[in-house]
Structure 1
């Protein structure tokens, strides 16, 4: 239950959530950085390029992603003892793996994919900790995995799924595999788009390092937003927070469009 996940969060009496909700809405609008906006403009070319990727590549990406996330979630059972690369260290590591992966085309990109997936998930977990959550709890780790379904960096969608955990779960064996079965296909598509984007000539100046950094930053921002909203629901209830967030997001979109 939400109350169980947030049991150790501080309760702030007479706390007005609107300023923080407004800040989270603004953060949502900024989640797609300049690099992602450039790549989105080439969405059609990326889709066409995906058709030329080697046969069976999607299956490989899904298999690699499943294995990497399974290992990363297992490591996260140790909570704050899991690797913490820091706010600057994580993008730096993502950039390094992206640069290495870009050296030899698809072959090296696939080889570095497990590291990239692991670094992204642990950046999400560190964002959860920053919002006051205990990442050793299976509910929190499950919610971290769900961040990967929240509109990938190449998706034309700046909305956010503000549904929250409603039941206590375990993340071992069949339960983990069932959750990953829902998450991996969509996330694998996003990773496939990343590989395709790296192979478009017009985007030749965009290195694997820059792409990896942009992807990690995007998902880390979504994690801060999701866990920030989840923390606020513990204090004010899910429906009021959801409604206020959606209203604020619409209002800021209108101002931005002027």
Structure 2
């Protein structure tokens, strides 16, 4: 008998969802949680609520030369994150994710950025991105990812892109599964290259394409964060709080993404995607 509200999980009603292990109410609840995390209000909306003014006000305060500087810093941060993910993430560590510890570290980094403003971005963003990457890896491990494999590590880097949707973008292009599909070729090509050559050719086209795709989306969120820190009232304390929102945003996206991947390992991607879209 189908439980109320979960008819899509019942094999007699939705045979396409029947896999090696039947989808149950717990799976549906977890997928609903993941969708809630992946589709929370944008970082811009959350920061605007904190600052008490639309994020556009902060954007107007930034000098004209800020965007090239931000883009360059974002690209370098993604390159650093890719190297970090492939070389230094601990594949053996187990246990629950240390979200709070990483938030404290990100807050300290944000305090530095808030105190010194835009000139500090070149130092603060790589540090914050490194903290975020380690937190994402922590979450991935807690959801059953094997970080000994290159593909799982690249998925950690991809989270930085999945968190970059903007309310001004076309929803058809920025939905969770659409964003994954858009990144799929770059991720698979990078994984294939790394399997053959490792990181000995960091300027290889496959890696350059991956970095460019991640950076183009990550820069949206970085711009929002930078704009908030440009507001005069923010300062060091505000910078710490903005950076806490920044890492919290990516922790949510990472948790949602790796819950979905865990369910996909059990039931297959297409059934999980179809169910996700009905929730």
TM-score (norm 2): 0.71
The equivalent of 2:4 in structure 1 is: none
1:186 — aligned with what?
Answer: 217
Aligned-residue RMSD, C-alpha: 3.5
Please report how far the alpha carbon of residue 110 of structure 1 lies from its aligned counterpart in structure 2 after TM superposition: 3.6
Aligned pairs for 1:155-234 (under 5 A) are 155=167, 159-161=175-177, 163=180, 167=188, 168-171=191-194, 172=199, 173=202, 174=204, 175-200=206-231, 207-234=238-265
What is the correspondence of 1:64-75 to structure 2 with a 5 Å cutoff? Answer: 64-75=73-84
Structure 1 segments unaligned to the other structure (5+ residues): 1-11, 249-258
Per-residue CA deviations over 1:191-227 (Å, capped at 9, x if unaligned) read 1111111223576797111111111111112112112
Residues 184 and 102 of structure 1, relative CA distance in 2, 3 Å threshold = same
Instruction: Deviation per CA, 1:165-195: give whole Å up to 9, x if none.
Output: 5745334422222101111122113211111
Between 65-74 and 15-24, the greater mean CA deviation after superposition = 15-24
Q: State the Cα deviation string for residues 96-125 of structure 1 (Å, max 9, x = none).
A: 000111112211244211101111122112
Alpha carbons 1:153, 1:215 under 8 Å: kept: no
| Pair 1:202–1:25, CA change in 2 (3 A) | farther
Give unpaired runs (5+ residues) of structure 2.
Answer: 1-18
Is 116-125 or 157-166 further displaced after alignment? 157-166
Decide which of 11, 19, 32 is 2:26's aligned counterpart: 19
Q: Secondary structure at the match of 1:170?
A: helix
Q: Deviations over 1:136-155 (max 9, x none)?
A: 32212222222222243864
1:122 aligns with 2:153: no
1:39 pairs, out of 47, 65, 68, with: 47
Q: May I ask how many residue pairs the two structures share in their alignment? A: 237
